[in-house]
């Protein structure tokens, strides 16, 4: 799924299109010569033992990435299964991951097609397509009634 869902600049491969080097069902046809972007990418399913087999990208049709500089967990969803993330067993786990990310001063975004959806404890905020260079800003407000979050973008 990473061969479809990720943007690979070195190959001029846009997001949501199959890489021309991908042999569907087998893997990368240029694995030993793949670009650094591909070699350095690790789907969270491969490195986090807490994610069960249901999260295997071939099963879930999703890829989980972590963008360290933005402190962001990104779940890229195959458009052919666009609403799968909203169903069990995924959605409760995504809500949990989102709450963890917020506690760690980060956030979780689901990329459903071209739409960026920020997952918060109490709701999901669809920001629509997010252009290059736009930042997602999460503002936390504490009150006697608890914590609330607002989501905005800025260039």
Can you read off the two tokens belonging to residue 135? 């930042």
Percent of the chain whose predicted confidence (pLDDT) is above 70: 100
Judge if 5 and 50 occupy the same domain. Answer: no
Residues 81-105 have a mean pLDDT of 95
Q: Which domain holds residue 116?
A: 42-154
d(CA 78, CA 37): 20
128 and 56 in a common domain:
yes
pLDDT of residue 23: 92
Put simply, whether the predicted model's pTM sits higher than 0.75 gets the answer yes
In terms of domains, do 110 and 148 share one? yes
Please tell me the predicted confidence (pLDDT) of residue 133: 78
Average pLDDT (87-112) is: 96
54-65 pLDDT tens trace: 999 999 999 999
Name the one residue in this structure whose structure tokens are 């195959």. 78
CA distance 37 to 9: 8
Q: Give me 144's structure tokens.
A: 């006697």
- On whether both 145 and 90 belong to a single domain, the answer is yes
Q: How far is CA 31 from the centre of its chain?
A: 23
Give strand ranges (E) for the chain.
22-23, 27-28, 62-67, 72-77, 107-112, 115-119, 124-129, 135-143, 146-154
118, 52: one domain? yes
Residues 70 and 25 in one domain: no
Average pLDDT over residues 137-155: 92
* Domain co-membership, 72 together with 91: yes
**H/E stretch holding 11:** none
pLDDT value of position 70: 87
Identify any residues that bridge with 13 across adjacent strands, giving them in sequence order.
8
Q: Are both 80 and 133 inside the same structural domain?
A: yes
Question: How many distinct structural domains can be found in the chain?
Answer: 2
CA–CA distance from 39 to each of 28, 43, 93 (Å)? 11, 11, 27
**Pair 145, 109 in one domain:** yes
């Amino acid at each position: 799924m990473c061969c479809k869902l990720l943007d690979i600049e070195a190959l001029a491969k846009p997001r949501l299109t199959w890489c021309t080097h991908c042999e569907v069902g087998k893997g990368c046809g240029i694995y030993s010569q793949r670009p650094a972007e591909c070699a350095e990418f690790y789907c969270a399913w491969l490195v986090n033992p807490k994610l069960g087999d249901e999260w295997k990208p071939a099963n879930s049709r999703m890829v989980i990435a972590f963008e360290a500089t933005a402190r962001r967990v990104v779940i890229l969803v195959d458009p052919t299964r666009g609403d799968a993330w909203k169903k069990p067993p995924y959605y409760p786990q995504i809500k949990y991951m989102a709450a963890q990310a917020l506690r760690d001063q980060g956030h979780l975004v689901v990329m459903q097609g071209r739409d960026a959806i920020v997952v918060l404890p109490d709701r999901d905020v669809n920001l629509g397509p997010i252009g290059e260079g736009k930042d997602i800003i999460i503002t936390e407000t504490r009150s006697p009634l608890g914590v609330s979050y607002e989501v905005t973008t800025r260039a």
